[in-house]
Amino acid sequence: MKTIDELLAEGVTGKRVFVRADLNVPLSGTTITDDGRIRAVQPTVEKLAAAGARVIVASHLGRPKGAPDPAFSLAPAAARLGELIGADVAFATDTVGESARATVAALTDGRVAVIENLRFNPGETSKDDAERGAFADQLAELADVYVGDGFGAVHRKHASVFDLPARLPHAAGDLIATEVGVLKKLTENVERPYAVVLGGSKVSDKLGVIDHLLERADRILIGGGMAYTFLKAQGHEVGSSLLQEDQIPAVLEYLKRAEDKGVEFVLPVDVVVCEQFPDLKAKAPTEHRTVPADAIPAGFMGLDNGPETNKLYASKLADAVTVFWNGPMGVFEHPDYAEGTRAVAQALVDSEGFSVVGGGDSAAAVRILGFDENAFGHISTGGGASLEYLEGKTLPGLAALED
């Protein structure tokens, strides 16, 4: 995999460099609520611009239906990128149309442009190779060189991620190089004890990574909505908590395998419950209480780890030399149900081990809850990509950069 530094050594002055970034930031209207992914690609953009490249930044945002949708425009991300790099960033209002061609043609050495949301074109996400390839051909006409730096999208076989690198000289950006290096620390010659914290809503989203980590981790801590399927599998009532009953057989299998392999599986011992899901916009105080994890009352739903669980999890992370965390412990967006997630983040900050926050909601939670990002070993920009890498899957976007 060629690095961006090797690419720069060959010279990029005057060349049109297509940077596949991940600018898929959360928006409230047109306001960016977390610019972490934009800041993550900033070093690569600045490095190329400083070397005299004509930089074309492209990304997806959200899940539009293959057609323009103002709610998913990259215009706010382009404006924020300009603020971060301290320079005007041109913005094309389409992907490969008249605006994109004109915007790219107007670029001069060292200048940067962002083209509109790639998913406004159905060819970006098409499962048909010919349709995807046709869109990649159009994108290739805009550039001379390709730099892959959108780690959050490398697990997708999309035109700009998989097909476009085959059509242009290509290299990996600094962000992808960093992400891959970190993930290798979690899969190759791991320093122990190795603790994994998994949360989020659905256990089905994490089955593959649990399966893979049972061969590698020393202890696995479970929280979030997925914990209630584990508790139900152990025979406990979970009230109206989130439950995937169809996953109980798989959960039982994993619990048995963990026992056989000596992998410690840690589940909540107490939880914070409420009778109805809170209003995450109003964030008004709710009526909630803490109950034992094996005694959730009927009609109540678990929404966070309780204080005893928080102490337990902190103790299980205190001596870990390597920690991977993916998924919040509760509904952290509401202050009444944020303490479990806060406790895990604080345990990682307090730990002397190498900690990796595995992207997605976990990365957002760290920032929303006010933690210093530099206090963690690494905060990934790609939750799904990180998980699939840890599952041992081949990621199309990385494979496309390797030849």
Tens digits of pLDDT across the chain (403 residues): 999 999 999 999 999 999 999 999 989 899 998 898 999 999 999 999 999 999 999 999 999 999 999 999 999 999 999 999 999 999 999 999 999 999 999 999 999 999 999 999 999 999 999 999 999 999 999 999 999 999 999 999 999 999 999 999 999 999 999 999 999 999 888 999 999 999 998 899 888 899 999 999 999 999 999 999 999 999 999 999 999 999 999 999 999 999 999 999 999 999 999 999 999 988 999 999 999 999 999 999 999 999 999 999 999 999 999 999 999 999 999 999 999 999 999 999 999 999 999 877 888 899 889 999 899 999 988 888 988 998 889 999 999 999 7
Tell me whether residue 289 is one of the annotated catalytic residues: no
| Of 319, 322, 331, 327, the residue nearest 344 (C-alpha) | 327
| Of 305, 312, 327, the residue nearest 390 (C-alpha) | 327
One of 340, 360, 382, 397 is an active-site residue; which one? 360
- Tell me how far apart the alpha carbons of residues 306 and 312 are, in angstroms, rounded to a whole number: 10
Helix, strand, or coil (residue 178): helix
Tell me whether residue 97 is one of the annotated catalytic residues: no
> Contact, 336 vs 311, CB < 8 A?
no
One of 101, 111, 202, 216 is an active-site residue; which one? 202
Amino acid 220: pLDDT? 97
Partners of residue 288 on adjacent β-strands: 274
Q: Which pTM value belongs to this model?
A: 0.88
Q: Between vectors from CA 148 to CA 371 and to CA 81, what angle results, nearest 5°?
A: 50
> Contact, 146 vs 16, CB < 8 A?
no
One of 123, 340, 359, 384 is an active-site residue; which one? 384
Tell me whether residue 384 is one of the annotated catalytic residues: yes
> Contact, 306 vs 180, CB < 8 A?
no
In the chain, DSSP finds a helix count (H) and a strand count (E) of 14, 17
Helix, strand, or coil (residue 44): helix
> Contact, 103 vs 113, CB < 8 A?
yes
> Contact, 103 vs 115, CB < 8 A?
yes
> Contact, 341 vs 227, CB < 8 A?
no
The residue type at 11: G
One of 15, 16, 20, 37 is an active-site residue; which one? 37
- Tell me how far apart the alpha carbons of residues 206 and 208 are, in angstroms, rounded to a whole number: 6
Tell me whether residue 360 is one of the annotated catalytic residues: yes
Retrieve residue 263's tokens. Answer: 């992998």
Phi, then psi, of 326 in degrees rounded to 5: -140, 115
- Tell me how far apart the alpha carbons of residues 96 and 91 are, in angstroms, rounded to a whole number: 12
Helix, strand, or coil (residue 43): helix
